[in-house]
Structure 1
Amino acid sequence: MTMSLPELDPLDARLIGLLETDARRPYTQLASELGVSVPTAQARLQRLLDAGVLRIICWADHVALGYTSEVTLALNAHPDRLPEAVERLCASGPIRYLVLCTGRFDMIAEAMFRSRDELSRFLLDELRSIPGLARIESMLRLRHVKLSTRLLTDEKDSRPAENSALDLDAMDKALIAELQMDARRTPLELARKLNVSESTVRRRLQRLLGRGIIRIVGVTNAFALGYRGVASIGLKVAPGSGHEAAEILASYRDVRTVGIYAGRYDLMAWALFREPADLDHFISTQLSQIPGLRDVEVMPHLRIAKASHRFPIG
């Protein structure tokens, strides 16, 4: 998972911090807050984007978009068919994330569906038709406890907002679709694209952002900030202790996501670590403080095969 990334200086770090909280800041505001010229702010941001240090995305609440079923898939493949299986999984529309890992499983994937029927068809038909897959385990995510995209700034609340698919109309969905193509489009550009007034776009954006239906954020490549690894962590806990355990797990800064599941694991998390020793400390010291903990399984990631924040919007 190593890659060539530029060295970051304090100005880069300050710029990333501003974009982590609100990536819709205009260049004039970024320049003012950084104490530099507008051309310098533009050049710095473009350098970070071109180098793969930063992505500007429109994160959207999948439930508000109608995706009511979310599963994590734990997969094994026959060694000689693994590349083919990875290629087919990456091409699958419902799969949003796919990583190759060490441990019990070869791959961990996350997929989203509009209904349980759609999920059933995927598991019974599409997934089982992929050559080379030797083992498939699916775990239904019951609740998000933490979903954090920030690395340099703190979040008051990293819990996803709870919305309903009924919250969005056709104009909302069209606006989100445009922002998922280019999250820094201005209200004027969006208004021209959608053939509505700029004031209409501003009102819609304010509502979508205010309710947590979308976030326009900068997502930083963790490896550019000194992290050297990511791991999926599955936990089994005693009955009745799941919610408390999830809240404690979510309180750790380097834990990026936490979910409550039905399946092999009661809880699953993704965590960053700078060195293998940090991961060892996290497992042996911090995880041991979780009440009711019965078993922990750690699966360090080898490679990200697919990572997509976009959803088909209909």
Structure 2
Amino acid sequence: MAELSAADLDEVDRRLVCALQIDGRAEPGRLAEVLGVSVRTVTRRLARLQGSGVLRVVRMPGPRQPGDGALLLRVRVLRGKVEAIAQALAARPEVPFVDVMLGGQEVGAVVLTDDHTRGSLLQGQLAATQAVVETTAHAALHLFADAGQWQAGWLTADEAAALTPLPPGDEEPPTLDALDEALLAELAVDARQSNAALATACGAPESTVRRRVARLAAGGLLRTHATVDPRLLGMTVDANLWLEVPPGRLAEVGAELARHPQVHGVLATSGPANLMAMVFCPDPPGLYRFLTETLGPLGVTRVETTIVARAVKRAGVILPELGTRKPRRG
């Protein structure tokens, strides 16, 4: 199937993606009802978006907190070598996010790993790679919001509320057995698989799979993420903001930014900056307004702004580059 460009997605496509950001496993009938379109339209649009590779809906692990070994990497690379380093990092399963920064000499990445694997990557592979000039690692100290919580904003408040799944109960997450693990692994690849498809893949009765999936969802283990290039949703600027905030205001500023609709990640970090925010903006003037009108009143003392030239991997999914062909007519 041909690649899609930003011009190929209309408002219905974008509203559909936004709906899947809220509930990635919503049935076509439910999506059609909330969006005010036919089931046939939903089915056809989903097939086009997923078949082109621009949309992937995957299961996303729960937010990680201190002690989980999350690192934010900034890797300076020799000019002309950035693509090779970015692809090498993206190929690693413990690296769910990889960005190439504007200027072509820096790669940003998130690494979720234990001490042994972390040392092997930082002191071993990256240090021994002649294309790498410098690697800076910042420990994630507290997570305020991650990519799984961001919504593109193409739905009304009522539509978003209608699609929002019931929150998990207060009970502890279920103890997982081999079938649960197999189901979660399948959903990490494609969270929109039907119960019938999951039953076939895991070699279990469909009725059993249906009960297990409901149990996993009730335990808060089926958080989904609709992975799509933000430019397809009208967000042409993706920026990482490294912020210095007075320690006494760190929790307040982090929580405030986590509620902002343009922010798709906020973490307290080690290093010269103590807060890192990831922001989508419609255009450069939109980023300027965010810096002046949103950050200004929050008492941020210093901002380093880095622009993402290309998102290579998001939420464990390697993204295709946007097509450049002209949109179809008719």
Deviation of residue 86 (structure 1)? Answer: 3.1
Map Cα deviations across residues 107-134 of structure 1 (whole Å, 9 max, x no partner): 2111111x22332232211221222111
SS of 1:25's equivalent in the other structure is coil
| Segment of structure 1 superposing worse, 160-169 or 189-198 | 160-169
Distance 1:281 1:10 in 2: 25
Map Cα deviations across residues 233-292 of structure 1 (whole Å, 9 max, x no partner): 11112223211110111121101111111223211111011111111111122111224x
Counterpart residue number, 2:121: 122
Counterpart residue number, 2:284: 276
1:95·1:109 contact (CA, 8 Å) conserved in 2? yes
1:94·1:112 contact (CA, 8 Å) conserved in 2? yes
Is 2:141 the partner of 1:142?
A: yes
User: RMSD of aligned C-alpha atoms?
Assistant: 3.2
- Provide the TM-score with structure 1 as the length reference: 0.83
Distance 2:102 2:120 in 1: 28
SS of 2:266's equivalent in the other structure is strand
- Provide the TM-score with structure 2 as the length reference: 0.79
Is 2:107 the partner of 1:107?
A: yes
- CA spacing shift, 1:183–1:82, aligned 2, 3 Å: closer
Deviation of residue 32 (structure 1)? Answer: 4.5
- CA spacing shift, 1:167–1:229, aligned 2, 3 Å: farther
Distance 1:170 1:228 in 2: 42
Deviation of residue 306 (structure 1)? Answer: 3.0
| Segment of structure 1 superposing worse, 240-249 or 51-60 | 51-60
2:78·2:105 contact (CA, 8 Å) conserved in 1? no
Q: Which runs of 5+ in 2 are unaligned?
A: 318-330
Amino acid corresponding to residue 229 of structure 2 in structure 1 = N
Amino acid corresponding to residue 40 of structure 1 in structure 2 = T
Distance 1:133 1:260 in 2: 26
Distance 1:61 1:163 in 2: 16
| Segment of structure 1 superposing worse, 11-20 or 246-255 | 11-20
Deviation of residue 80 (structure 1)? Answer: 4.7
Distance 1:254 1:96 in 2: 21
2:82·2:105 contact (CA, 8 Å) conserved in 1? no
Deviation of residue 196 (structure 1)? Answer: 2.7
| Segment of structure 1 superposing worse, 256-265 or 41-50 | 41-50
